[in-house]
Amino acid sequence: MTIEHYEKSLLFQKNIYSNYHPLRIRTYFKLAEIYNIIEKYDLSIDYYLEILNNKPFNDENEQIDMLHNQLICCYLKLKQYDLAIKHANLSLRISEKSLDIERIELSYMLMNDIFEKQQKYDLTLECYEKLVKKSIEYNNYEIMKKARSKYISIMTYLIIEEYERNFENNMKILSEFYDKYLFNENFFIFNDFQQIILSISLIYLKLKKFSLGIEYLQIILTNIEKLSNNHDKYRIIFYLNSRIAWFYEKDEKYNLAISQYKIILSKIENLDNHDLTVCIIDEALQCYESIGQLYYQLNEYNLAIENQLEGLELIKTTNDNKYQQEIYDFNYRITNCYVELENFDLALIHYRKCVEIEEKTSISVEESDESLYMYECFGNFDYENKQYDSAIDSYKKALNILQTNDDPESSISIVKFNYKIGCCYNMQQNMVLFIEHFKIALEIQETNQFNYDNVQTMDMNFQLGWYYQQNQKYDLAIEYFQKMLNIQEILNIDDKSYFADLYIRIGKCYEQKSMSDLSLKFYEKALELYRTIIELNSLEEKKITDIHWRIGKIYRNQQDWNLSIEYYQNSLKYLNILNTKLVFDLYSEVGFCYQQISNSEIMTINYYKKAIDINPYNNSKIIEFYYQIGICYQKINDVTSAIQYFKIALEQLNEQADKDFVQLVDIHAQIGFCFCDIEDWNSSMDHCLLAFEIYRNIKMYNTALIYRLCITIAHCFGQNDMYNLAIEYFEQALKIQEDENNHNSDKKFEIIHLNNQLGYCYFMSNQYDIAYHYYDKSIETAKNSSCYTRHFSIIDNYEMFGYIYAYYHNKILASNCFNKAIKLLESTEPTDIVKLRRIRNSLTKLQYNNNIVMIDMIRLLIIQI
């Protein structure tokens, strides 16, 4: 049933049953439970209180105990601690009357939850101590153990937190608690005590207060020693001493740690034989092992050997076969010590004992010269533990033995040890010696026809090839990779994936050498091999995608956009295994390639949008894509969409902490150009002027952009009849063109047009002399170019001359200019009929009327940008 059903049920029951009817009580309880589950604790509390208020309870009734506990939990969630305490006290009073220790425990635990939330640790400690007392009264060890552990944990926390101001008092409180409850012989069990000590140790370890931890454990140790003798007492004493030694180790006070372990050993020596249990013997052996390790760390090898021999003697007295691992460990450490002392004869004696144990425990031991095997084992062990200097030392000692051997087949082992030494130097990044030993090994193989380890040989060639590849010595890298290919072919290894990987590596080297044809050749070979593999694994699929990506990149650099797209898209076929960054890069690259192909704007837009959708970078990475999408929409005359994407790019750019002002200029400029295209002159002006202002402040040099900004701003001012401002920007545009190489026909084309536009602006400003000057400049420039009869401004220039001459009442020159304009217009294909009709009409008026109404003529003019 839902809450709604239970609520309706209550309303229905109200007219039938009394408030304390069992059915109503049960409904209250269900609603309280549901509201508790959905974390509406205030409503849950209301229904629990309804139960308490309407059902008569006996104080010993467990249900009322449970209701108070539920209310405590709700008030805790709402942080209403006073009300929680009120119900905790009621719960405790009822549970204590019940004589049920588990109910009493629950009441105390809830009360402690409240005090802990309030950080009232003194009250928390008081409650836990009361619970410990109660559990002892009820002879319930498990509850006592939990409460005691909680008390110690909180007290330990306070000792550390209040170390500076309250250490002595807190330690006194804890000691008194220990006297009462921790050292109680009726509740003295090793495993539980061990857990307490371990948890305390971990706290001090975490806080790195080692000396405080030692002091703490020594106080406990003093109290334990006062107890009557039993096996658990001795075990705990030894365990405490070992933890104190452990703290000294962590504090790097190794000599003190050794002394502490020796204290344990001296105590064990004084025990009677019947007290010498297996656990205590294990503790003694652990002490010997720890002392040996510490002496070894302190480079006290003779003392370490002496100590380990004592451990072996103790094992002998037990006459127990179960200590084979310990015998092996002691002998192995003695061997290491003798190796450090360079006493290899004694090292071999103990090492042979290790070998014997390995054989008994089914560990395979190579049948070979024992000294060589020892050095190899020592070297391998040190190599695995990243002790490369020690490993090199062992391998070189083995080489010294081999070099005195006249057996020709010893060259196999010489190759092996040179290989191992080379691996060590490789791990140490000592590349000179790494290369030296690998080359020695390979040269020996080339001059001797023995059956060498081909896997080892291939690895050396690979490592050398990889090293030279990383260090940009691509010719040498190719040489070693090619040797690997030759070995595989000789051995007839049918591992297509391995061959393909080598082809890829060689291809990468050629790619780095900018030898694209050879790079493509090896990449294609790799792809051919992969095509023959029936079921590709994920690693092979990743390599295939990488090859397609690399081939696509090569064709991109060669500006073969279609092939580049083809290979990039082949890479995208493995979309499910590609990481987000690579997918983003592929979409970006495909979009870029399409952008270079004519009439591919839609495909460009699609791929840039895909890149944006999975963008794994911050916004600065995708601003360019929004910008390029805007450019594409601009090219296909979707000006509204272009503006939309330019504005997104602008928003993203404005959010950047370090703005790219060059990009900011570009975006504002493009938005301005778009608004100009849709004849929103004011918006166009706003963005272009802002771009122009930023441009001037950052002192960038982009003549083409500033020129276009000038003519666009001028055009917008002209459309708004603000001719003086239009003149200012047309003049700046003209200066840019004149400062450039104006012998270029395209530049002259622009200069012709700009002079025409300046003439028009001055004409509209009634400055006819200046207007005449610019129209004349436009015509003169055109005469000195290849576009005299083709430039659209020439007809306008002659037409405007006609109006200016008419204004000055020179009808002959005006007629000549109109006729010139008509003649040029009639020679153009196609002929602008509207313009032709207008000029003829002006000519007719001029012939039959002395005055031409200038406003009528001006109304017919159209500015062309």
Q: Please report the DSSP string for 566-586 in residue order.
A: HHHHHHHTTGGGS-HHHHHHH
Q: Is the pLDDT of residue 61 over 60?
A: no
The pLDDT tens digits for 785-827 are 766 656 677 888 888 989 999 888 898 999 999 999 899 888 8
Q: How confident is the model at residue 190 (pLDDT cuts 50, 70, 90)?
A: low
Least confident of 147-156, 221-230, 418-427, 791-800: 221-230
Q: Which two tokens stand for residue 602?
A: 């839609």
Cα 440 to the center of its chain, rounded Å: 42
Task: Say if residues 723 and 761 touch (Cβ distance below 8 Å).
Answer: yes
Q: What digits encode the pLDDT tens for the residues 437-465?
A: 888 888 887 777 666 677 788 888 888 88
- pLDDT for the residue numbered 3: 78
CA gap 787, 780 in Å, rounded: 11
> Measured between alpha carbons, how far is 626 from 631 in angstroms, rounded to an integer?
9
Helices (H) and strands (E) counted in the chain, each on its own, are 41, 0
Mean pLDDT of 233-239: 72
Mean pLDDT for 73-102 is 82
- The pLDDT confidence band at residue 189, using thresholds 50, 70 and 90, is low
pLDDT at 100 over 50: yes
Which pLDDT band holds residue 656 (cuts at 50, 70, 90)? confident
Give the pLDDT confidence score for residue 703 in this predicted structure.
83
**pLDDT for position 185:** 54
Q: What is the mean pLDDT of residues 331-349?
A: 81
Residue 433 in this model has a pLDDT that exceeds 80:
yes
Mean pLDDT for 409-420 is 83
pLDDT of residue 853: 42
Residue type for position 626: Y
pLDDT of 183 over the 60 cut: no
- At residue 526's C-alpha, the angle toward residues 524 and 532, to 5°, is 105
857 pLDDT band, cuts 50/70/90, is very low
User: Could you read off the pLDDT of 533-559 as tens digits, one per residue?
Assistant: 878 888 888 888 999 999 999 999 999
pLDDT confidence band for 168 (50 / 70 / 90): low
Mean pLDDT is lowest, of 152-166, 627-641, 747-761, for 152-166
State what percent of residues in the chain have pLDDT above 90. Answer: 14
Instruction: Look at residue 132 in the predicted model and tell me its pLDDT.
Output: 76
Average pLDDT over residues 642-660: 85
Query: Can you tell me the distance from the alpha carbon of 263 to that of 214, in angstroms, rounded to the nearest whole number?
Result: 15
**What is the percentage of the chain residues whose pLDDT exceeds 70?**
83
* CA–CA separation, 413 and 366 (whole Å): 14
Q: Does the pLDDT at position 687 exceed 70?
A: yes
User: Is residue 671 over pLDDT 60?
Assistant: yes
CB atoms within 10 A of CB 221: 17
The CA–CA distances, whole Å, from 257 to 266, 268, 329, 748 equal 14, 17, 20, 94
Domain boundaries, the chain: 778-865
- pLDDT reading at 173 higher than 80: no
Q: Assess whether pLDDT exceeds 70 at residue 56.
A: no
Is the predicted pLDDT of residue 592 greater than 80, yes or no?
A: yes
Question: 10 Å Cβ neighbour count for 482?
Answer: 14
Name the E strands within 442-534: none
Rounded to whole angstroms, the Cα distance separating 445 from 451 reads 9
Choose among 233, 202, 210, 207: nearest CA to 220: 233
Per the model's pLDDT, the better-predicted residue between 602 and 212 turns out to be 602
Point out the least confidently predicted range of 220-229, 622-631, 719-728, 852-861: 852-861
- What was the pLDDT predicted at 390? 80
User: Mean pLDDT score of the chain, rounded to an integer?
Assistant: 80
Q: How confident is the model at residue 654 (pLDDT cuts 50, 70, 90)?
A: confident
> Are the beta carbons of 505 and 522 closer than 8 angstroms?
no
C-alpha separations of 198 from 179, 234, 239, 258, 284 in Å: 19, 17, 10, 20, 19
For range 574-601, the mean pLDDT:
89
Q: Can you give the pLDDT at residue 804?
A: 92
At residue 51 the predicted structure's pLDDT band, cuts being 50, 70 and 90, is: confident
pLDDT over 90 (residue 560): yes
Q: Which residue has the higher pLDDT, 740 or 79?
A: 79
pLDDT confidence of 761, banded at 50, 70, 90? very high
Lowest mean pLDDT among 230-244, 383-397, 684-698, 837-851: 230-244
Report, as an integer, the average pLDDT of 484-506. 81
Tokens representing residue 858 in the block: 């001006």
Handedness of CA 265, 267, 268, 270 (dihedral sign): positive
pLDDT reported for residue 590 = 93
> What pLDDT, on the 0 to 100 scale, is given for residue 93?
83
Q: Which pLDDT belongs to residue 193?
A: 63
Query: Residue range 265-269: average pLDDT?
Result: 81
